[in-house]
Chains A and B, each alone.
Chain A
Amino acid sequence: MKQTQNTRSSHPIDPRSKWALWGLLAWAIIPWKGLEYGLFESSFSEILHAYAWSSLNTSVLSLLVFVLFLLRPWRSLPKANLLDAVLSLGTFVGIIFTAAVLKESLGYSAAIQLTFLLFIFSLALARLGFIQGDPFMTTAIVVIMASITIFVLFPISTVFSKVLYLEDGTFTPMAFIKNITSFGVGRTLMNSLLLAVTVGLSSTFLGLCFSLFTVRITKRFKGVARIFSMLPIVTPPFVIGLSLILIFGRNGTINDGLLALFGNGGLFIPSGSEGWFHRSAYIYGFWGIFLAQTLSFTPICFMLLVGMVSTINPAVEEASVTMRASNAQTFYHVTFPLLRPGIANAYLLAVISSLADFGNPMVLGGDYDVLATEIYFSIVGAQLDYARAATLGILLLSFSLLAFVIQRQWIGKKSYVTVTGKGSGGYFQPLPALVRRVATTVSLSWMAFTAVLYGSILLGGFVVNWGANYTPTLAHYEELWARGIGYGAWPSYITTLKFAAIGAPLTALMGLMIAYVTTRKRFVGRGVVDFSAMISFAIPGTVIGISYVLAFNTAPILINGTAIIIIISFIFKNMPVGIRSGISALSQIDKSLEEASLTQRASSIRTIFTIVLPLLRPAMISAIVFSFVKSMTTVSAIIFLVTADTQVATTYIMGRVEDGDYGQAISYGSVLIVTMLLVILLVEKLVGRSRIERA
């Protein structure tokens, strides 16, 4: 230990001092305080006033500490590293708290300097032997933990503190009990659970059929199948609900058709006699939500499973058949078990997504109350009741976490590694006939159903009023797109693309980093990272939205009303998708590959970039694409966060739905769908499909 320190300090500049130098530079040239109206809208004096040196403020702390680190007068002391760690972390926490007390909002420079302080802290921690003294991994873990604390745990705790404290600050521990036993909570909970469990089953099943169909049964439908399976994910919220109403609604196509055949005076009913078919509103309620959610979550399951199915090493199946196992035995005892982590992940994701889903029950719920909508209406409804909302939120959260735990138990500790350093070759064995038949039938009928649904979405934008006036028109599109940039749908469209493009790579990176450190490294606080990442996924968007407003509307982190808060909410809302696909992919990659690299003295950065990332490429690409698309279609988390300048497509569509302009809502929806499909296909063209995927 002593020896390494000596060799390192003979190095011209210590990396800690280097970060301190950068910190000082940031201190001098970038505004320290938050700018009320953003960088480009603020006046000269506002910007000048925001600089650290223009007034006495919290930044003296960082100035002092950076100067200290530049010199490091204590470098020869025996406990120098410990002192570094304590000092840097202490300053980090100190700045945030002082700023909170002084009501000083922190700006760009503060964010940069706080990050540098974390870097210094991580370097010191690594020297102390954290993660075998690996500075890169330590930095990654420290940054992940800090950002999760600030952007997940802190805002959520502000909402949940509402359960225990009244508006005036009185402590009321009984309110939780009172709320949870209040009338109707039990029924709502049962509704949510029933829905989640059934939707989980149906979407996992459909996803599995679909991935077997596209990878193992036929390549003919591959392109079509991909688009069909992607469609529901690229569909903005409300649009699926609206199109289901157009088709299955009381006044929808199916009812119209049946009425024309079997209704009063219908084709098959003798004139004069009473028809036996009457319109009904069966789509509103359990079955409507079930259908819409299955449509929305099957692609999520598909995306997870198709990766799994195509990375299975054919040699394993070949080995099984060589040893005289039948096709059926091979499938049930070899292939299926290998898919188990994928299936478990898919099921878990579908269950949690269903629990947290807000858009579909909102449009199609009818009287069928679920927790996610009840939480929303406890806050914005006729009875503003944070305590009730938070209580229901805790309830929802505990069930999501339960699903998570069950899934872990199910996968167990078996190894599912099929990507090893050893050569893999051979041919896939044919699937058992039953599996083939089921997967083919299910996939084909699913494709037909989706085609009808999306046909109605496209057509819906070209008629005056679906349900009343079927005259073809271009008016909706003209109103949205033909009035020039700066009018109609253009501003929100451009903003959406911008935000999603900024957020997506960050989301994927964050997610995969977390997946990597939680599955491959052992460190203190690993459970916390794992758990918090799940929380942000399990909590419904509206609660996240409210918690962000509560947490980030005051100093020290005043970002409410800016574009930053929306991008950050995208990152932390969608990050778990990256984590899940990272974990799935990593559980199939043998650890010995990285260990080989590390024992050959490659640094951990190098190992990640040359070994792990290339192997994770399919997961990486799907995470980026998925989070891009998710960001473009998020609505519930940002309802409370958007302002006039940060209006995005989904909130614009919601406004149109609220005003009853279904035509415009659906036309905008179609344009978004086409945009996202183009983006996905373009990315695939540019980056290329993965190499380890055998499809």
Chain B
Amino acid sequence: MKRLLLILPLAVITLAGITQAVQAEGRLTIYCSAQGDWCQKAAETFGKKYDVKVAMTRNGSGSTYAKILAEKENPRGDVWYGGTLDPHSQAGVNGLLESYKSPALDKIAEPYQNPAASKKNHSTGVYVGILGFSVNTDMLKDSGLEMPKCWADLIKPEYKGMIQIASPQSSGTAYTALATFTQMWGEEKAFEYLKKLHANVGQYTKSGSAPGKNAARGETMIGIGFLHDHGKEKGKGFPLELVAPCEGTGYEIGGLSIMKGARNMDNAKKFVDWALSKEGMEVAATVQSFQVPTNIEAAIPAEAIKPEDVTLIDYDFVTYGGEETRKALISRWVEQVKPLKR
């Protein structure tokens, strides 16, 4: 027993020596909030290219923000890749992120270079995703109804019970919709609209991507959400038609940020430079993620809904990403819309 205890540390030291020999150039921990296979592909590609041992953890942007905030005293992650910008903004304002001006920024379209609320280059936009709705064409044919084209169509009584949207209480996607309506029509009119929409909503889902999946599988006829999520379902062969509403619509920016006090700062910066490059952005389309890349040189996938085909509103990420506006809008929705009879 005693001898064993003497051998143990020696063994440990030898083992450590061996493992060190096979160690890569360095480490990088990515917290990823984009789609799972995209995260995986990006991590693999970057790791191979720069000989870095990459550890990737995928979680939704809300969970990731909660995790980063909880780990504030001692950050475990280095880079936060993807996911809607608002939580990135919040993290920047609350001092969880590092300012970094990547040399790759000059290839990024101007509105996405420094979109976050803090305005301190905490986050960069890596992709743009357009808000809209999708219609299950099989169900539409069965019901004999017309194809909805505009936001205004969705409050027609014939679509009663056929629409799904996430609850803004739980989903950033649904909050983007709430903020979009408010910016398009002003708060009063937006809530008038939401009350009428409420009458047609069959179910408020928890997650923002669920309405698209449910529309694809025929659990609902119409699902409101980000169209790139729906495009992925369509790519799997489900009968979906993606609609960019005629009145214009809002959009999300996918964020990319470095954690303050990251343990592998150099590799984190290297990753940001790579992710903003043409090469880094074109990874998405290889795994059927059809967001629009923000790098002006990167190819826009043929399947993507292009911003020039859609009337996009001038989304104010600073005001509507801020906590106060957000809380006010969500509680108004919870108090005035959610309890209404359907």
Contacts and interface: CB of A to CB of B under 8 A. Distances in A.
B63 A639 contact: yes
23 contacts: A29-B9, A39-B12, A184-B334, A245-B219, A251-B219, A281-B202, A281-B220, A367-B203, A379-B62, A380-B63, A381-B171, A382-B170, A384-B62, A384-B65, A384-B69, A384-B87, A465-B236, A468-B216, A468-B237, A553-B71, A558-B74, A658-B36, A658-B209
B335 A183 contact: yes
Given A30-B8, A39-B15, A40-B16, 12 more contacts: A37-B27, A39-B16, A43-B23, A44-B17, A47-B13, A251-B218, A281-B219, A469-B237, A560-B76, A640-B70, A644-B56, A655-B58
Nearest to A187: B339
Interface string A19-30: 000000100011
A416 to B, nearest CB: 43
Given A379-B66, A380-B62, A561 B76 contact: yes
Interface stretch (B121-129, B268-276, B298-306, B325-333): B325-333
Chain B: interface residue count, which band? 35 or more
Contact of A468 (B56, B203, B239): B239
A362 B13 CA distance: 47
B67 interface: yes
A157 to B, nearest CB: 15
A675 interface: no
B218 A656 contact: no
B47 to A, nearest CB: 11
B218 A553 contact: no
B206 A660 contact: no
Contacts of A379: 62, 66
Interface string A650-667: 000001101110000000
Interface string B141-185: 010000000000000000000000000111110110000000000
Interface string A154-168: 000000000000010
Contacts of B60: 380, 658
Interface of B: 5-6, 8-9, 12-13, 15-17, 19-20, 23, 27, 29, 35-37, 54-60, 62-63, 65-67, 69-71, 73-74, 76, 86-87, 90, 94, 142, 168-172, 174-175, 202-207, 209, 213, 216-220, 232-233, 236-239, 263, 326-327, 330-331, 334-335, 338-339
- List 9 A-B pairs, minimum CB-CB distance, nearest first: A251-B218, A644-B55, A380-B62, A377-B170, A381-B170, A549-B70, A380-B63, A467-B217, A382-B175
Contact of B174 (A44, A167, A382, A546): A382
A540 interface: no
Interface in A253-289: 264, 281, 284
Chain A: interface residue count, which band? 35 or more
Q: Could you say which of B9, B20, B207, B219 has the most chain A C-beta atoms within 10 Å of its C-beta?
A: B219
B20 A43 contact: yes
A258 to B, nearest CB: 15
Contacts of B29: 643-644
A433 B330 CA distance: 58
Contact of A47 (B12, B175, B209): B12
B13 A41 contact: no
A380 B66 contact: yes
A618 B249 CA distance: 62
A478 interface: no
A550 interface: yes
A640 B17 CA distance: 32
A439 interface: no
